[in-house]
A and B are shown apart, each in its own frame.
Chain A
């Protein structure tokens, strides 16, 4: 009985830590969605875009996009160029 309680406790409180790559840099996170990951950064409300594993993810879908180990996230903004 006690073991069942322990298992339940572990199930609830085990924090999943995974490694993702943001703009090519390794990043350790407990976030399970793209939205939570991006909340850690204070991104401007406009003028940026986010890609996940080579596909653009609209801002409206960040919260519903699950993250997996090794995911590659890119965040871009405007730069000078011809």
Chain B
């Protein structure tokens, strides 16, 4: 059975997407990307200084089987996000954009109003827009109507590794969405990713939990397994959850010893 995820006309065999921040070195990052089997990798943007001598990040992540997903991190409103997205499309040659507008540096929570405005403008301009957003079912439908190619609701604030704190709302979003739902932010352990996939999420985007792990390459493999495992469980159809007050025997209860 083929189970591929399609976003913006491109198929993804892996449902694990990786961020490239916080790794100890570009070499370790490239090894973790390879170990994860991911086909979608985020990149941010920074200014080119006059005496720029940085290692070229793109050399480590640009491969035919990997879709670059530039983000708009650092912008404060829809105008800046649209500007950033057009810069990214020119620099990286892709219409894919992870739209993220989080003006508050303390919580890094997305600004829903500006995110919706920017999604409308970018989708109309031909971008494949993946907005990082609040786990708000109404907002996610509005983003979908505005032309988002997928929605990326958060499980918990960025970089906190707290898991699926928004779980109930994610369930509603997944149940109602007509576009892929990618759980972004807060996934701190493979078990969180597996839980998201069991709920029916289309994919998970993981960065901090892999990048700062004791062994990022091994952790990337663990996340890949968890995402695959959770997806397979979802497709298999999970058994219903019962009540602690009403056990259901799985063995025959007829006495056989007397």
Contact = CB atoms under 8 A, between A and B. Distances in A.
Contact of A48 (B42, B44, B48, B79): B48
Contact of A47 (B44, B47, B49, B56): B56
A79 B56 contact: no
B90 A49 contact: yes
Contact of A49 (B20, B22, B23, B87): B87
B87 A76 contact: yes
B54 to A, nearest CB: 8
Given A41-B50, A47-B92, A80 B44 contact: yes
Contact of B45 (A24, A54, A58, A78): A78
Contacts, number: 98
B65 to A, nearest CB: 18
Interface of B: prevailing SS: mixed
B158 A82 contact: yes
A78 B44 contact: yes
Given A49-B86, A76-B45, 7 more contacts: A47-B92, A49-B88, A51-B87, A76-B46, A80-B26, A80-B44, A81-B19
Contacts of B79: 54
Nearest to B208: A82
Contacts of B113: none
Interface string B7-51: 000000000000111110010010000000000001111111110
Q: What interface size band does chain B fall in?
A: 35 or more
Interface residues of A, number: 25
Contacts of A30: none
Top-8 shortest CB links A-B: A81-B44, A82-B19, A82-B207, A79-B46, A49-B91, A49-B90, A56-B86, A49-B87
A75 B52 CA distance: 11
Interface of A: 22-24, 41, 43-44, 47-51, 54-56, 58-59, 74-82
A23 B48 contact: yes
B87 to A, nearest CB: 4
Contacts of A78: 43-46, 56-58, 61, 70, 91-92
